[in-house]
Amino acid sequence: MKQLIDQVKTAISEGKTLRIEGGNSKAHIGRATECSETLSLRDHTGIAPYNPVELVMTTKAGTTIAEINAELAKHGQFLPAECPDFDGSATIGGTLAANCNGAGRPFRGALRDLVLGCYLINGKGEHLRFGGTVLKNVAGYDVSRLQSGAMGTLGVIEEVSFKVLPRPAMEITVSKTCSAEDAITTMNKLAAGSTPLSASAWVNGTLYLRLAGAKTAVEAAMAQLAMREEDAEVWASLNTLWQDCATEGRYRLSVKSTAAPSGHAQIINWGGAERWVSSDATLAQMQQAAAKMGGEARWIGAAREDEVNPALPDALKALHKRLKQSIDPRGVFNPGRLYSWN
Amino acid sequence: MNLVPQTHSTESVAKDLAAVVPPHTLIADTETQVVYECDGLAMYKQPPMITVLPESVEQVQAVMRYAHQSGIPVVARGGGTGLCAGAMPHAEGILLSLAKFNQIQHIDPLARTAVVQPGVRNLAISEAAKIHNLYYAPDPSSQIACTIGGNVAENAGGVHCLKYGLTVNNVIKVEMITIEGDEVVIGSEGLDSAGPDLLALMHGSEGLLGVITEITVKLMPIPERMQVVMAAFDDVTKAGNAVGAVIAKGIIPGGLEMMDHFAIVAVEEYLQAGYPTEAQALLLCEVDGTPAEVEEHIAAVTQVFEQMGATSVRISQSEEERQLFWKGRKNAFPAVGRLSPDYYCMDGTIPRSQLANVLLKMAEMSERYGLRVANVFHAGDGNLHPLILFDANIEGQFETTEEFGGKILELCVEVGGCITGEHGVGMEKIRQMFTQFSETELTQFHAIKAAFDSANQLNPGKGIPVLKNCQEYRSVGGA
């Protein structure tokens, strides 16, 4: 850890910029940036002694999602956000920074919902602790959750504490053939009722639902739905979309779950709230469509000079700039990764 | 960073404000403003200079612009039920009550969202959503009176946090007015937005970063069935271990609450909930879901409690009985309050494994300070609510109580916990912030605050302590 802090301090004094890197699995996410050097957390790993009944795990930021999943599985627990593991290379720090979550997200929360605290190295080279290692903590501003989506622009995440849960006793995937419109209606109607859903998606003309919970509840729901049983492969394949975008970029729309499908070729995840669209449209055009659907569009693909995230209104943009200044006054960390102007 | 004191007479401010908002939204006389002088922590009192009850977003903007230009502090207020003096007014400031922002604007049953104004009461959302078989999950004990705006400001919890999360996990979008009077939208109708999670930052920020004027919350389907297991134990450690054993079984209950002997007796005397008064600890474990699932889990929980040495186990047999079991728990504060002229509610969190240790040390302190303490505990998520009984009419007793309370919070930090789980810091826990955070961390908080409010006008003096007081507090506290 001292090494990390020293590198940050040296960069500050020499006026350098740092590209924060964990497993380097998400180089294609965000804008292309030119940094003086890389600050690697790849070897900054380790899981702190973990007591399963506390439902809390603390790890160094470079610990991989795969390693965390394996450790939790030994105790019948899991990371409810089901974060993509990028073939074993994704780290918990990078996953939080990129706000990368799996199919269970609408039902069990994102990693940001699970995060309880973190250690951060700010742009002055100070090592700071926010939040805690207990399930509830509201003292001070929530700087830990603030890191979600910041893409490393608000400091170096050094350690993360997060909530974990017991794995449901049973999980079954079922499917049926239907249109995108029907799938969106079905996914939302079921989520508003008592069906024990833990994921729902529409891929290539097929609606997939995952049922989770006590054996009796899952079996009762299966009988009621009368859909064909599937293997769980589809959920893993949805998780690899993030990764696949490195070679074939897509727009990721985060929208109201009930929004009617746009006319594009797409995959619908998160019960309707996440839509992966393949299109030649510009970000501005896609953003216009997404805004009508109650949300926003981002470009996930080969890193580029252009903006990848939607433009912000002036007042909000000013807030983002001042917030960056407040944590990283010299702009050392990942300059331009999120927006060209920050 | 602190506001340079400027002299503003109430008359001149009232006159200026009357030019930008309708006169009937202003309260400037001392008598009428008495109701605003404190929140739910009545030991902290301060009448505001002037109170404004705006009726539209434009009026909030007008007040903020005026305050910003004139350098006058602004303290926002919801239902006034907060327990940390977070909404205590500023003597030279404007108290901005959001009481008239009380409309549920829209419920979308299919998308399971509600768009509400900040002055809407927490329970009113669930009441309005009920016809769609939906409800709003976070349920602080004050849910009849507390408002959703205040819930966001304090990141309020309740008895169902372990399964359904705090306010931050149940809000997807807020509209906020900055101190400059600008309107910003944070979040969307989707589940996430690009960039740092400002929505999370707003939760628990205690009115220090902006004034929220609209909130979109997530609604959940009402579980088909809910049932409570009530288990009595002759020893607190056994009860604590039983909580861990339920979780080890892979069950996440909707609610999992503990009360100590003192609280059990107080509640039973107050409203006869059928609690076993001989017990040293009582657990209430609520399971929800489909009927088949509940049946399966109730059987498992019952078995765990028996194996862990429960002296009696009862299962609610009807909705009325379930409500009765909860009624005791939800009324624990007033029930304990009856036994003493005053009580002081604390809000520390601890790792669950530390429960017995913390309760033992608390009992020692109770003896040392000569003040009785009852314990109510969100056992599932490690959130303690010790209630210290005192008499404010005895000179110096509140000060002793506060010191005792402060020591409890320091103990929570010492065992790996935090000074507040859901009530917030406000004025009340400002000293204990020095226990939980270093000076560099507090300096970082101030820098974040300045990014939103460079002149420190929004709820100044709350939440984050001023560093110049650090040495003083540390030496006072460092016994």
What number is the ipTM of this complex? 0.98
- Which residue blocks in B76-227 are alpha helix, DSSP H? 122-129, 148-154, 161-164, 198-202
pLDDT at B478 over 50: no
Q: A147 contacts in B (CB within 8 Å)?
A: 196-197
Cβ distance of B290 and A133 shorter than 8 Å: no
**Any residues with CB less than 8 A from the CB of A21 and at least 6 apart, and which?**
A38, A39, A40, A41, A42, A94
User: For residue range A133-173, what is the model confidence (pLDDT) as tens digits?
Assistant: 999 999 999 999 999 999 999 999 999 999 999 999 999 99
CATH architecture of the domain covering B225-333:
2-Layer Sandwich (3.30)
CB contact at 8 A, B77 and B460: no
- Judge whether B420 and B157 are in contact, CB under 8 Å: no
B109 contacts A214? CB cut-off 8 A:
no
Closest to B420 (Cβ–Cβ): which among A52, A138, A188? Answer: A138
Report the pLDDT value the prediction gives residue B471, as an integer from 0 to 100: 67
Which tens digits make up the pLDDT trace of A104-122?
999 999 999 999 999 999 9
Which residues of chain A form beta strands (DSSP E)? 18-21, 37-40, 56-60, 77-78, 115-121, 127-131, 156-163, 165-166, 170-177, 197-203, 206-213, 228-230, 250-254, 265-269, 274-278, 296-300
- B104-221 folds as 3.30.465
pLDDT of residue A304: 82
- In B320-395 the beta strands, taken as DSSP E runs, fall at 342-345, 373-378, 383-390
Q: Domains in chain A, start-ordered, CATH in brackets?
A: 2-166 (3.30.465.10), 170-238 (3.30.70)
Nearest residue of A to residue B210, measured between CA atoms: A319
Q: Is the pLDDT of residue B1 over 60?
A: no
Per-residue confidence (pLDDT) for residue B477, from 0 to 100:
46
Reported as a pLDDT band with limits 50, 70 and 90, residue B470 is low
Residues of chain A found within 8 Å of residue B353, distances taken between Cβ atoms: 51, 53-54
Q: What is the pLDDT of residues B219-238, one digit of tens each?
A: 999 999 999 999 999 999 89
Burial class (CB in 10 A: 0-12, 13-18, 19+), A323: buried
**Mean pLDDT in residue range B413-420:** 96
pLDDT in tens, B46-65: 999 999 999 999 999 999 99
Q: State the amino acid at position A195 in one-letter form.
A: T
Q: CA torsion sign, B24 to B29 to B35 to B36? A: positive
Q: Which residues of B touch A197 (CB under 8 A)?
A: none
Give A161-218 as a DSSP string. Answer: EEE-EEPPSEEEEEEEE--HHHHHHHHHHHHTTT--EEEEEEETTEEEEEEEESHHHH
**Which of B186, B290, B354, B459 should we substitute to test contact with A (largest number of A Cβ atoms within 10 Å)?**
B290
Task: Name residues 76-135 of chain B within 8 A of A (Cβ).
Answer: 108-113, 132-134
Partner-chain contact B351 A54, CB within 8 Å = yes
pLDDT for A158 equals 98
Domain range summary for chain B, segments of one domain joined by +: 10-97, 104-221, 225-333
Report how far residue B338's alpha carbon sits from residue A243's, in angstroms, rounded to the nearest whole number.
61
Chain B residues lying within 8 Å of A148, measured CB to CB: 196-197, 200
How far is the alpha carbon of A255 from chain B, nearest alpha carbon, in Å?
4
Residue A334: its chain B contacts at CB < 8 A? Answer: none
Nearest CA in chain A to B437: A129
- Looking at the structure, give the CATH architecture of the domain made up of residues B10-97: 2-Layer Sandwich (3.30)
Query: Closest Cα partner for A36 from A9, A14, A62, A4?
Result: A14
The tokens describing B243, both together, are: 């909580």
Residue from B222, B354, B444 whose CB has the most chain A CBs within 10 Å, to mutate: B444
Contact at CB, A129 and B297, closer than 8 angstroms: no
Q: Is B477 helix (H, G, I), strand (E, B) or coil?
A: helix
Measure the N-to-C terminal CA separation of chain B; round to a whole number of Å: 31
Question: Is there a contact between A192 and B422 if contact means CB atoms under 8 Å apart?
Answer: no
Residue A264: what pLDDT? 85
B457 in Cβ contact with B209 (< 8 Å): no
Among A135, A156, A293, A334, most B C-beta atoms within 10 A, so best to mutate, is A135
Pairing between β-strand B94-97 and β-strand B50-52 as defined by DSSP bridges? parallel
Query: Between A101, A140, A254, which is nearest B188 by CB?
Result: A254
CB-CB under 8 Å, B463 with A136: no
- Out of A140, A154, A256, closest to residue B437 by CB: A140
The pLDDT tens digits for B57-91 are 999 999 999 999 999 999 999 999 999 999 999 99
Q: What does the buried/exposed string (b/e) look like for B110-121 if buried means 16 or more CB atoms within 10 Å of the residue's CB?
A: bbbbbbbbbbbb
Output the DSSP codes for B368-383. Answer: HHT--EEEEEEGGGTE
Interface check B394 vs A, CB under 8 A: no
Set of chain B residues whose Cβ sits within 8 Å of the Cβ of A294: 188-190
Chain A CB contacts of B383 below 8 Å: 135-136
Considering only CB atoms, B165 lies closest to which of A113, A132, A312, namely: A113
Q: Which of the residues A134, A164, A274, A283 would you substitute to probe the B interface, choosing the one with the greatest number of B C-beta atoms within 10 Å?
A: A134
Within an 8 Å CB–CB cutoff, is residue B417 touching chain A? yes
The pLDDT confidence band at residue B6, using thresholds 50, 70 and 90, is low
Query: Which of B183, B191, B423 is nearest residue A105 as measured by Cβ atoms?
Result: B191
pLDDT in tens, chain A (342 residues): 899 999 999 999 999 999 999 999 999 999 998 999 999 999 999 999 999 999 999 999 999 999 999 999 999 999 999 999 999 999 999 999 999 999 999 999 999 999 999 999 999 999 999 999 999 999 999 999 999 999 999 999 999 999 999 999 999 999 999 999 999 999 999 999 999 999 999 999 999 999 999 999 999 999 999 999 999 999 999 999 999 999 999 999 999 999 999 888 899 999 999 999 999 999 999 999 999 999 999 999 986 889 999 999 999 999 999 999 999 999 999 999 999 998
Average of per-residue pLDDT values in chain B: 94
pLDDT at B468: 78
B170: region left, alpha or beta (phi > 0 left; psi from -120 to 50 alpha): alpha
Our measurement of the distance from residue B379's CA atom to the centroid of its chain's CA atoms, rounded to an integer in Å, reads 16
Query: What tokens does A207 get?
Result: 């609606």
A and B: number of Cβ contacts within 8 A: 283
pLDDT tier for residue B473 given thresholds of 50, 70 and 90:
low
Which pLDDT belongs to residue B479? 34
Q: Mark yes or no for CB contact A166/B352 under 8 Å.
A: no
Check residue A33 and give its pLDDT: 87
Least Cα separation, residue B252 to chain A (angstroms): 8
DSSP H helical ranges for B211-316: 236-248, 261-271, 291-307
Determine the pLDDT at residue B474: 61
